[in-house]
Structure 1
Amino acid sequence: MSGKAPTRSYVSTLRTEQAATTRRRILEAAAACFTENGYSGTSLADIAARAGVSPETVKNNGPKRELLLGAFEQAFAGTEGPAPVVDSDPAQEILAITDADAFLTATAAFVAAANARTSVLWIEFLAAANADALVAAALDDLLARRRADYRGVVEQLIERGIASGSQDRDAAAATLSFLWSPESHQQLVLQGGWAMERYEVWLADAAQSQLAA
């Protein structure tokens, strides 16, 4: 009997990995469908076709509102779930940067790239929240987590001498969340025609000018 346990363990691990891979593919497909067709204009069948899986598989990973939240989290931070963005590998690499200006530049570039992946999806999230109380609740939770993430960024900017330590941390985090929101990418890049390089520089300059020490 002891010889069969590793086989069962291997099969279980393989199934878990396969399920995670399928889940990730479904969320990628959901993000693409919501972006292209809107939340209300996307069906589970559309997501299934885009992901190359059965509608039943998508249904088992749903409902649609949970796919919307998961798709946004994965597109923005690279992984689904409530973990702080700072726990991600790219964020940890940025935290290891010791030069203050280089840290701000890298952080702004990270946010710019994340906003580029999610700014249209974010608009769909807001629209869905207006029509669905459960999506609205998920949005409130996501916004609370975003404020906490930006509170952490503010603390780093203060520690590195970029931001003033005398200001209210929560107010500074709210300011940064506003400046670095997906809406800024929507307006400046998608609508205003800015190049991403210009947008990245603007994010860094706006944070520095508003929170300057």
Structure 2
Amino acid sequence: MSSEILPTESGVPRAYRSQLRAQQAVDTRRRIVEASARLFATQGYQATTLTAIAREAGVSAETVKSAASKAELLIAAFEVTFSGSEAAESLAETEIGGGVLDLPDEGFLDAVLERITVANSRGHAVWTVLLGAAASDPVVDAALQGILAHRAADLRMLVAELTARGYMTPAADPDATAAALSFLISPEGYQQLVAQSGWSTERYVTWLHRAVRSELIR
């Protein structure tokens, strides 16, 4: 049976109008999340209101309230600023990590660390806010535990990939290496070295490459 697109009284096909509304909804949510990220990063969690987010996003307060709660917007704000994608199960499924496993062995680690640096530079401020909010908001805390669990799984996968590609010896303890990498490449490290200590991005990248390679060849 053919899939007929029926016209409306105005002459615009229903399927087209439905697709348009869906895309508008996606665009609106993106604006809300990006506005939330800007305000959370500059004003913190407590001081940021849904009304302020609506004003920053250029939408009504009701639109923001129907999109998500304040806690949910903080979580989405971190996910989008850090990885470019919401609610992904793995970093490899996000904008920042997409296609990384298809890269050749030569230069693979450099590419991974370059992407991590970009993600940390974009997401470290909102990550700091999220950590603080988790101490008093159970919804944020539950999401934080999920994010940390996904990070641990991603790093175990990365360690296995690095071993398979010859960057580290199979005899190394993969769990210990994953834990060490989690510390080295964390947004907290970027926050402390670049945002707080005033390191340049170039100095941070040089340090990160040296620290990670040193850990892998132990």
Q: Please report the TM-score for the alignment, with normalisation by the length of structure 2.
A: 0.91
Match of 1:198 in 2: 203
- Return the structure number with greater relative CO, CA threshold 8 A, min gap 6: 1
Query: CA deviation digits over 1:180-204, x for unaligned, max 9?
Result: 1001111111111111122122222
Tell me what 2:78 maps to: 72
User: Is contact 1:188-1:194 (8 Å) kept?
Assistant: yes
Q: Is residue 135 of structure 2 the alignment partner of residue 130 of structure 1?
A: yes
Q: Is the 8 A contact 1:47 1:58 kept in 2?
A: yes
Alignment of 1:129-168 (within 5 A): 129-168=134-173
Question: Which segment drifts farther, 43-52 or 150-159?
Answer: 150-159
Counterpart AA for 2:64: V
Flag as ranges the 4+ runs of structure 1 deviating above 6 A.
Answer: none
Aligned counterpart for 1:62 among listed residues 61, 68, 88: 68
**Per the alignment, do residues 198 and 94 of structure 1 end up closer, same or farther by CA in structure 2, a change over 3 Å counting?**
farther
Q: How far 1:149 sits from its partner (Å)? A: 1.2
1:4 to 3, 6, 29: 6
Q: Deviations over 1:8-27 (max 9, x none)?
A: 22211111111111111111
Q: CA deviation at 1:89?
A: 5.0
Moved more, 172-181 or 79-88: 79-88
Q: Which amino acid aligns with 1:192?
A: S
Name the residue aligned to 2:58. 52
1:96 is aligned to 102
Any gaps of 5 or more consecutive residues in structure 2? none
Q: Secondary structure at the match of 1:165?
A: coil
By how many angstroms is 1:90 displaced?
Answer: 4.6
Do the aligned residues in 1 keep the contact of 2:31 with 2:57 (CA within 8 Å)? yes
Unaligned runs of 5+ in 1: none
Q: CA deviation at 1:167?
A: 2.4
1:189 maps to 2:191: no
Question: Does the 8 Å CA contact 1:73/1:79 hold for their aligned counterparts?
Answer: yes
Which position in structure 2 is the counterpart of 1:177? 182
Q: Which has the greater radius of gyration?
A: 2
Q: How does 1:116-127 map to 2 (within 5 A)?
A: 116-127=121-132
TM-score, scaled relative to structure 1: 0.93
The answer for the alignment partner of 1:84 in structure 2 is: 90
Partner secondary structure for residue 131 of structure 1: coil
- What do residues 156-181 of structure 1 show as CA deviations (whole Å, max 9, x unaligned)? 21112112222232222111111110
> SS at the partner of 1:91?
coil
Higher helix proportion, which one?
1
User: Retained in 1: the 8 A contact 2:37–2:81?
Assistant: yes
Q: Which range moves more in the overlay, 75-84 or 5-14?
A: 5-14
Q: Check conservation: 1:108, 1:201, Cα contact below 8 A.
A: no
Paired residue for 2:116?
111
- Count how many residue pairs are aligned between Structure 1 and Structure 2: 212
Identity %: 45
Tell me the SS of whatever aligns to 1:36: helix
**Structure 1's 140 and 90: CA in aligned 2 closer, same or farther, altered over 3 A?**
closer
